[in-house]
Structure 1
Amino acid sequence: MKYSPESDAVGTLLRHVLELLEGDVAEVYREQGLPEYRPRFSPVVRALVAEGPLSIRELAAAVGVTHSAASQTAAQMARAGLVAHAADPLDSRRRLVSLTPKARALLPRITAEWDATVAAMADLDAELPVPLAELLTAVADALHRRPLRDRITAAQDARDD
């Protein structure tokens, strides 16, 4: 089914593309017998493998999401038995997220899927005028320089003049 939103419905189009990408990756996990595993778990798994146990704040920074998003993902992963929360031995006020033995046992399958997804994205990028990650990085950089709310205000002010 070809999707054709209005040319100015960028938010709708971004959500649709994300749903297509994540839906297909989730289907691969289901086919591999991992129905509880979500695509959004992989960056967390990769960060915990690389860094070891992390606080939610550190995890959010490592994967580039908000504290709330990292907390929600860690909670979902805990329900799936993939991470555990424990007090930091150096500061009992902090709680650390770490991989469970179940998650560590799944690492070869998770890593293989990640590698296949990277290859599939390279294949997709070959069909695009600009690699998707490059374009999205440029968009994020532009919005960090000048947020959309500032651009909206400027457009409203220009219209009101």
Structure 2
Amino acid sequence: MSGIPTTGPGPGPGDDPSQESLWRPLRLLQERMDAEIERVYAERQIEGLKPSFVRELLRLHARGPMTITALAESVGRTHSALSQKVAAMRAAGWVETVTGEDARSKQVALTDKARGAIGRLAAEWRATEAALAELEAEVPYPLSRVVVDIERALERKSFHDRIVEQLATDPAWE
């Protein structure tokens, strides 16, 4: 017992709704594919690189040093999420923070390590996209199409509204 009082019906012992997850297989699939990409890096002895770093590294190579805010906007991420990623990339030696145009601003820039690997990272990106296209051609309903269809459905009714409607029917939410 946690000692936290409950008001109304709630889950009982052994009742764990987290055992059900429609999209857990998708997350696990992506993790498995990312592990395969990491295996490609290991075979080429590219150490400390995560597949999730590559988009930002390629963007910095293409556009030059940027503030975290500008980099986050360019890849469609929040400042907070990208700040954490930049810290991880800096710890792994892929980026560094340099003084910006004025002494008060900081920009994220590629390190020599990143500049030396950028051609291979671009090649891996292209190969990964080609492999994904090949996979999608093998299945009757490609994931990229699923994403577009889900986005359209969410334009009709937001995910927030769908959750709120479901919660309205659950007495434990009250």
Measured against the shorter chain, the TM-score band is 0.7 to 0.9
Partner of 2:127: 116
Structure 2 match to 1:139: 150
Q: Structure 2: any 5+ residue segments left out of the alignment?
A: 1-19
**2:58 equivalent to 1:41:** no
Letter in 2 for 1:64: G
Deviation string, structure 1 residues 7-32 (Cα, Å, up to 9, x no partner): x6223123212211211111111111
| TM-aligned CA deviation for residue 147 of structure 1 | 3.3
Aligned match of 2:32: 20
1:71 aligns with 2:76: no
| CA 1:83–1:159: 2 relative to 1, 3 Å | closer
Q: For residue 56 of structure 2, what is the amino acid of its counterpart?
A: V
| TM-score, normalization by structure 1 | 0.82
Structure showing greater relative contact order (alpha-carbon pairs closer than 8 Å, 6 or more residues apart)? 2
Q: TM-score, normalised by structure 2?
A: 0.76
Aligned length, in residue pairs: 152
Cα deviation, residue 120, structure 1: 0.7
Deviation at 1:39, TM superposition (A): 0.2
List, as ranges, runs of 4+ consecutive aligned residues in structure 1 with deviation greater than 6 Å. none
Residue 31 (structure 2) pairs with residue 31 (structure 1): no
Alignment deviations for residues 34-54 of structure 1 (CA, whole Å, 9 cap, x no partner): 131110111101211222111
> Structure 1 CA distance, aligned partners of 2:34 and 2:154?
24
Structure number having the greater strand percentage: 1
Q: Percent identity?
A: 38
TM alignment of 1:76-91, pairs within 5 A: 76-89=88-101, 91=102
Alpha-carbon RMSD:
2.2
The alpha-carbon deviation at position 67 of structure 1 amounts to 1.6
Q: Which moved more, 1:145-154 or 1:12-21?
A: 145-154
Q: Quote the residue 1:3 is aligned against.
A: none
Cα-to-partner distance string for 1:52-72 (whole Å, 9 max, x where unaligned): 111111111111222222112
- The more displaced of 149-158 and 45-54 is 149-158
